Amino acid sequence: MWLYIVLTKSFLVYLSDLYTAMTMLTTKGWSNGIFQKCKESGIVDNCVVVDFTVGKWIFVGCIIFGYLLVCVFFFLRLESWPMLVSAVIRMA
């Protein structure tokens, strides 16, 4: 039962990452109020200002890297599958 819950959660997290990446690539600016407030006030001490074109590629790059890690993990497991099966057969 827990396996299905964890797999469902993982699938939904990767689905939300894909949605976030698509949203970042299709919009033209930040939409949160904190960033707008810092930009308008001109106070630089408490605000870190990152240009949207740079920030969106950082976020999207991290999401792509996460997908690549899942693919590498999947293919490594797929490659070692025959060894696992033969080990279980020998143990029986």
Query: pLDDT tens digits, residue range 81-91?
Result: 666 667 667 76
Domain that holds residue 30: 2-91
Q: Is residue 76 within 8 Å of residue 33, measured between CB atoms?
A: no
CA distances to 6, 7, 50 from 2, rounded to whole Å, are 6, 8, 40
> Does residue 32 sit in helix, strand or coil?
coil
Q: What is the pLDDT of residues 53-68, one digit of tens each?
A: 888 899 999 999 999 9
pLDDT by 10s per residue, the chain, length 92: 887 888 899 889 999 999 989 988 888 876 666 566 666 665 666 676 777 788 889 999 999 999 998 888 877 776 666 666 676 677 65
How many distinct structural domains can be found in the chain?
Answer: 1
